[in-house]
Structure 1
Amino acid sequence: MDPRCKTVDPDKDLVDWHKPLLWQVGHLGEKYDEWVHQPVDRPIRLFHSDFIESLSKTAWYIVIMVWIPVVLYLSWFCYASLAQGTTRLFSSFTAEYSIPVHKYFFPFIFVLGMFLWSLVEYLIHRFLFHMKPPASNYYLITLHFLLHGQHHKSPFDSSRLVFPPVPASLVIGFFYTLLRLLLPEAVGMSMFVGGLFGYVVYDMTHYYLHYGSPKKGTYLYGLKAYHVKHHFEHQKSGTCPFLLLPAA
């Protein structure tokens, strides 16, 4: 039991820990914000259905097993596509001044995708994950708990520290489609795969900051110390994805 966590009596808490929590938290109203920021060291069950519940959590290594092969394959595909020399930016607007995109640009587009992911994650974390849902809105409270509140309520639930592949695929699919619509295929996919790799790095870093033991004085030790403060001292502040610094 982590000493920084609140001791919970399942029979006397504001929610019934013997039942799934997701459909209960919306009834807490004005008590929700204080309750969700009192960490406990125990697993959380969200759904009644065993199948849906299984899709809402995962082990950390599943993220690597699922997404790293995708990153490797798409990286090879993008590089090979750019190597054909037919990819040009702005060709749909002007053929005369369109910009050729060579295979040597792939690493730069990949890194740009990582930074774009970092920015998107920061904005989502800062303004959605750490919003204060209106006390009178059952559905927004429920959504907040589903997206991020559950993690702050139980920060050491190891099965909920990384994004499970099935719900993650929906979000990833959205960004994939968006980039494919906005950019030439090879460029959009190169940016997408960089963002996907950035997401994997972020998720693994986040897990390590909860369960790893970095050496004192190292960069990761400083990140872990800062992230611990995020959970136990500055819980209502967002965090910057790669640096895990406070957003507010």
Structure 2
Amino acid sequence: MLYLSWSYYRTLAQGNVRLFASFTTEYSVVVPEFVFPGLFLLGMLLWSLIEYLIHRFLFHMKPPSNSYYLILLHFVMHGQHHKAPFDGSRLVFPPVPASLVIAFFYGLLQFILPEAVGGTLFAGGLLGYVIYDMIHYYLHFGSPHKGSYLYSMKTHHVKHHFAHQKSGFGISTKLWDYFFHTLIPEEPHPKTE
């Protein structure tokens, strides 16, 4: 991720990266180097959206009851994680399938955008993925301080695992749960006198 960031920043700094050049030369736009941080952060934001969508629509899909292979695939991909959420060997996506998914997104970005623009988005998304993996592991095995962001996310994730499996799909952020109205409902707190 650091190498890609450095490499694509240097490419942008040369001043010859143009957006839309593959469609039209008349209306293509030069991409200046100062947009690098924004593209990088956009990549992180896009990862958080992909994280949400994968978790909600792939990991929590309802396979047809007559499809043994889809049920098995679903169980291996995510069902086992919900069955045994404190099994440390089931928290991180295995490297080989993860590499294939990552390669797909890299290729897609390189196909639709100039190399330095797509690569910068990819580097930000890659950092987002690493942060997501670290947060997910910590939410299961860490002890965040009460009142902290990670404490709030751990509470959110525990509720997703044990009480609200049809909501609360964000792992590293609740942003997309707010946006798509899948936030776990707040439980009323009893008044203490």
Interval of TM-score (by shorter of Structure 1 and Structure 2):
0.7 to 0.9
Give the AA of the match of 2:82.
Answer: H
Alpha-carbon distance in 2 for matches of 1:123, 1:154: 22
Question: Is the 1:180–1:188 Cα contact (8 Å) retained in structure 2?
Answer: yes
Given candidates 1, 4, 11, the residue that maps to 1:81 is 11
Q: Following superposition of structure 1 onto structure 2, how do residues 16-165 of structure 1 map, counting pairs within 5 Å?
A: 71-165=1-95
- TM-superposed deviation, 1:127: 1.2
Cα distance in 2, alignment partners of residues 133 and 244 from structure 1 = 26
How far apart, CA to CA, are the structure 1 residues paired with 2:168 and 2:100? 23
**Residue by residue, what CA displacement relative to the aligned partner does 1:96-141 show, whole Å, maximum 9, x if unpaired?**
2211111111110011111111112211211111111111111110
Which residues of structure 2 form unaligned runs of 5+?
184-193
Deviations 1:145-173 (A, max 9, x none): 12111110110011221122222101100
Distance 1:113 1:136 in 2: 39
Query: How much has 1:187 moved relative to structure 2?
Result: 0.5
Secondary structure at the aligned position of 1:155 is classed as coil
- Give the Cα–Cα distance (whole angstroms) in 2 for the partners of residues 91 and 72 of structure 1: 27
| 8 Å contact kept, 2:157–2:168 | no
Which TM-score applies when normalising by structure 2? Answer: 0.87
1:165-204 correspondence to structure 2 within 5 Å? 165-204=95-134
Amino acid at match of 1:204: M
User: For the Cα contact (< 8 Å) 1:113–1:194, is it kept in 2?
Assistant: yes
Amino acid at match of 2:153: L
TM-score (norm 1): 0.68
User: What corresponds to 2:158 in structure 1?
Assistant: 228
Q: Tell me the distance in 2 between the aligned counterparts of 1:155 and 1:101.
A: 44
Letter in 2 for 1:94: T
TM-aligned CA distance change 1:194 to 1:108, over 3 Å: same
Identity in percent: 68
Number of equivalent positions: 178
Is the contact made by 2:157 and 2:171 (CA closer than 8 Å) also made in structure 1? Answer: no
Unpaired segments ≥5 residues, structure 1: 1-70
CA RMSD, aligned part only?
Answer: 1.5
Distance 2:174 2:73 in 1: 23
- Bigger shift: 77-86 or 120-129? 120-129
Letter of the 1:201 partner, please give it.
I
Distance in 2 (alpha carbons) for counterparts of 1:96 and 1:86: 15
What's the secondary structure of 2:97's corresponding residue? helix
Deviations 1:23-72 (A, max 9, x none): xxxxxxxxxxxxxxxxxxxxxxxxxxxxxxxxxxxxxxxxxxxxxxxx11
